[in-house]
Amino acid sequence: MGLRSISICIALLSAGSSFAAEQPYPSRAIRVVVPFSPGGTPDLIARVIAPQMERELGQSIVIDNRAGANGIIGAEIVARAAPDGYTLLKMPTSLIVNTLFYKKLPYDIERDFVPITNTASAQGYLLLVHPAVPANTVEEFVALAKKRPAELPFGSPGLGNSLHLAHEYFNVRSGIRMVHVPYKGLGPAFNALLAGEVSSVVMAPTIALQQIKAGKVRPLAFTGARRWPQLPEVPTMVEAGLAGFHLEAGWFGWFAPVGTPLPIVQRLNAEIRKALLVPQVNDFITGGGYDVVGSSPAEFRAFLREDIKRYAEIARAAGIRPE
């Protein structure tokens, strides 16, 4: 091969590389890691948004459930992934709450993740009990727990989960001590309540309404500032007798590995926000007791910094220290 032929080959290879590098995003399937088991709120919201994004992006959105360690396993996968927009994280408030329970984490929120958007924030949590628990009000439940604490374990989606923290906060404010039973995700924790393995669970209303109406679980109170519109008969914690008890529920954000190009982050933000406007998606989120958010990356970053401070204050009130 002559010098001219070699030069032509090099030029063609360079052109091919340039073409590959300039391929529009996305050019293949996008993996969204949901670090909890299927059936929980983070998973359900991701799955209702994904089909809308697929239509706009022209590529498949693959939901990859990686349950374990209260989301730490899945979050680490994304923190270590290539920052190319093809591996994303769909994570709730536990991303922050984990920092309150664990001294050492395999990632740092600000160092390893780029906020894309917050899709939804919950108005509050429900305190649910199994029908076999002889208590119809918060007052009766607190009295029972003070009398028989060992017989009334409470469940959560995992140690350090925001729902665990919310129940611990309820325990502190009501002056009771209950045994905590962590599960690998909200689905297993809720199933444990349905089976009577635990006496109570604090959770967002999204997947509980049907079981409440069927009489399989009993709501005692709502932690929001106002009653949840779909269960207007359920009092707030303040109305139930816990003065000053107001706890808004968690949020559900999307993140990319740090270093992900800004145009990709902006494209993802735009498509997620567009999906939130679809009536089917909007109705699903609001029907579950959430407010649709759709923040910009900058707004979400500022929100995260404030939320870290808020949960740190709750942890101090509950006497929780990282281990």
How far apart CA 36 and CA 203 sit, in angstroms, is: 15
- Give Cα 299 distance to the centre of its chain: 18
The chain-wide mean pLDDT, for the chain, equals 89
Given a cut of 50, is residue 15 above it in pLDDT? no
Residue pLDDT, tens place only, 282-313 = 999 887 778 899 999 999 999 999 888 888 88
122 touches 304 (CB < 8 A): no
Number of residues that this document lists for the chain = 323
With beta carbons less than 8 A apart as the criterion, state whether 220 and 138 touch: yes
Residue 10 confidence (pLDDT): 44
Please report the pLDDT score of residue 19 as a whole number: 40
pLDDT over threshold 70, residue 12: no
Q: What domains are defined for the chain?
A: 28-121+249-318 (3.40.190.150), 126-222 (3.40.190.10)
- Give the torsion through C-alpha atoms of 150, 155, 159, 164, to 10 deg: -100
Q: Is the dihedral of CA 260, 266, 270, 273 positive or negative?
A: positive
Other Cβ atoms less than 10 A from the Cβ of 183: the count is: 23
| 56: Cβ contacts below 8 Å, ≥ 6 apart | 271, 274, 275
pLDDT confidence bin for 115, thresholds 50/70/90: very high
**pLDDT higher for 24 or 318?**
24
pLDDT per position as a tens digit, 99-112: 988 889 999 999 99
DSSP secondary structure string for all residues of 235-298: PBTTTTT-TT------EEEEEEETT--HHHHHHHHHHHHHHHTSHHHHHHHHHTTEEE----HH
Neighbours of 102 (CB within 10 A): 16
pLDDT for 243: 93
| Amino acid at site 256 | A
pLDDT tens track for 49-94: 999 999 999 999 999 999 988 899 999 999 999 999 999 999 999 8
Tokens found for residue 105? 């984490």
Q: Which residue has the higher pLDDT, 184 or 174?
A: 174
Averaged pLDDT for residues 212-237: 94
Least confident of 13-17, 156-160, 200-204, 305-309: 13-17
Tokens representing residue 151 in the block: 């017989």
**Could you give the angle at the alpha carbon of 314 between the alpha carbons of 308 and 319, nearest 5°?**
120
Tokens standing for 217?
């679980």
Q: Report, as an integer, the average pLDDT of 261-276.
A: 98
* Higher pLDDT, residue 250 or 192: 192
Phi–psi pair at 254, nearest 5 degrees: -115, 140
Question: pLDDT tens digit string along 240-254?
Answer: 999 988 887 789 999
Q: What is the pLDDT of residue 22?
A: 60
